[in-house]
Amino acid sequence: MSVTDLADRLAALPRLEGVPREELEWLVAHGTFEAHEAGHVIGPKGQRIEELWLVVSGHVAIRVDRGAGLRLVTEWHAGEVTGMLPYSRMTAPPGDNYCAEETEVLALREEHFPGMVNRCPAFTAYTVHTMLDRARNFNTSALQDEKMVSLGKLAAGLAHELNNPASATKRGANLLLGELSQLDAALRALSVGGTTNELFDAIELVRPLCLTRPDAGVRSPIQQADREDELTDWLARHQLDPAHAPPLADTAVTIDALDTLAGATSGETLDAALRWLAARSTTHALATDIEHAATRIYELVAAVKKFTYMDSLAGPESVEVEAGIRDTMRVLDVKVTSKRAFITLDVEPGLPRVRATGGELNQVWMNLIDNALDAIPESGRIDISAHHELDRVLVRVVDNGPGIPPDILPRIFDPFFTTKPPGQGTGLGLDLTRRLVRRYHGDISVESRPGLTEFRVSLLTEKTAPTGD
């Protein structure tokens, strides 16, 4: 294709309408025309790009996997430019640049950029605007993906934490339904035997003890076995069903109280009374366990709501730093427990509030504490502190992990940089953390050596922060 023909095609593209003809001809004269089949990768992920691509027909796209699966980030159609751009710091793409259909491009090598800047000012300005738009698209997509990855971690931890109380609730409810039928049967048997005032008074004396857990708290297996043997012996002496022993053993009922009951009645009526008391103690224990499990579920949901500020309006507000850190620690409790980590929190009394969006600030604490948990060994230690210094609140997150190597330390806030294995890190967590901190006029820094890594976040207090956020 001749220079004139290709320049004519470029001039006909609406997106290049403002580029003078002589600039288009210069580009064609110094570039290389390429035609590619659909699916051809013109810029492989992670490899340095050394040329600019001006799309003549078709379109180029890029999909990136930042831990949430491959996602289309952006695409470029006829008249748009991609690849290496003048003044851009992006040298290697985070995903494959591929032709989504049969595509033609004009490729201009990086060595021609100085000449392009001098001879093609209008086109150069166009590439700069494209570079800014590309950076904005990538940043928006990156932040969204990192939030989705964090949400996935939060959901996984919450699901694990909710599983135990939810299972306990379901199991307890099923057992309770079965025990209610036993309670009804015991009540019918007791009514058949007839109840005297003396028996009624004796039952009322014993019943509160059967609804109470032992004062000594949790017994050892040997203590529990001895307790059941004691009750079994008492039941045998009165020729009663030994099945009453296990449920009564979990209560505070005493032998003296049982003797009082036996003094008021005997035989089948006494057995029916004990059967009812045993069933009543079991239903009460099951209902108590269900209530405890439901309370745990409620507390977990409340912690997540507080962590995400679900009930708050969007936008900066007055935020209590200590509450946010504690909510974050609750959300990460499963990971803390699984790693047997030791975490301390030291907060200055009367710590000033800061002005921020609560959910986003909690994302900062989540990223820093979660990274510290990844870094420390089993039974490792994390020390978190928050204090007031001049016009700022300073939060420190210190761990006793292996430290960050000196050659890596300057790069940890770079987007897409991660030391974690593929699929386990997006390389965006600390980049997002820094963006969020800076959004609220704060600073974040890090110091690291073997056995100690310290991240410091400083935020303006509510009284000194700008109000026009």
Report angle CA 247, 248, 252 to the nearest 5 degrees.
Answer: 130
Residue 468 in this model has a pLDDT that exceeds 70: no
Instruction: Return d(Cα 146, Cα 131) in angstroms, integer.
Output: 22
pLDDT higher than threshold 90 for residue 250: no
CATH superfamily of 313-460: Histidine kinase-like ATPase, C-terminal domain (3.30.565.10)
Residue 184, SS3 per DSSP: helix
pLDDT at residue 246 in the model = 87
What is the structure's pLDDT at 368? 93
Residue 116: closest CA among 103, 129, 125: 125
- Label residues 143-161 b or e (16+ Cβ within 10 Å = b): bebbbbbbeebbeebbeeb
Helices 358-375 and 267-308, packing angle to 10 deg: 110
Instruction: Burial-class residue 34 by CB neighbours within 10 Å (0-12, 13-18, 19+).
Output: middle
Alpha helices for 194-220 (secondary structure H)? 197-210
Residue bearing the bigger pLDDT, 185 or 71: 185
User: Is residue 83 within 8 Å of residue 127, measured between CB atoms?
Assistant: no
Does the pLDDT value for residue 422 go beyond 50?
no
pLDDT for 100-131, tens place per residue? 999 999 999 999 999 998 999 998 888 888 77
> Domain extents for the chain?
3-119, 155-302, 313-460
Among the ranges given (76-90, 249-263, 307-321, 449-463), the one the predictor scored with the smallest mean pLDDT: 307-321
pLDDT above 70: percentage of residues in the chain? 82
- Regarding predicted confidence, which is higher, 422 or 205? 205
Higher-confidence residue: 296 or 32?
A: 32
Per-residue buried b or exposed e for 375-392, using 16+ beta carbons within 10 Å of the residue's own CB: bbeeebebbbbbeeeeeb
For residues 74 and 90, give the distance between their C-alpha atoms in angstroms, rounded to a whole number: 15
Residue 53 has pLDDT above 70, yes or no: yes
Distance CA 159, CA 171 (A): 18
pLDDT for the residue 426: 45
- Give, in order, the Cα–Cα distances in Å from 32 to each of 11, 36, 125, 130, 222: 17, 13, 21, 21, 86
Mean pLDDT, residues 172-177 taken together: 84
Average pLDDT over residues 374-390: 93
| More confidently predicted of 64 and 249 | 249
pLDDT-wise least confident of 61-70, 307-316, 421-430: 421-430
Give yes or no for a contact between 82 and 19, defined as CB atoms under 8 angstroms apart.
no
pTM here is: 0.48
Residue 418 binned pLDDT confidence (cut-offs 50, 70, 90): low
Say if domain 3-119 classifies as CATH 2.60.120.10.
yes
Compare 178 and 119 and report the one with higher pLDDT. Answer: 119
User: Which pLDDT value is given to residue 423?
Assistant: 43
Q: Is the pLDDT of residue 156 over 70?
A: no
Q: In the predicted model, is pLDDT for residue 282 greater than 70?
A: yes
Which segments within 263-357 are labelled E, that is strand? Answer: 317-319, 342-347, 354-356
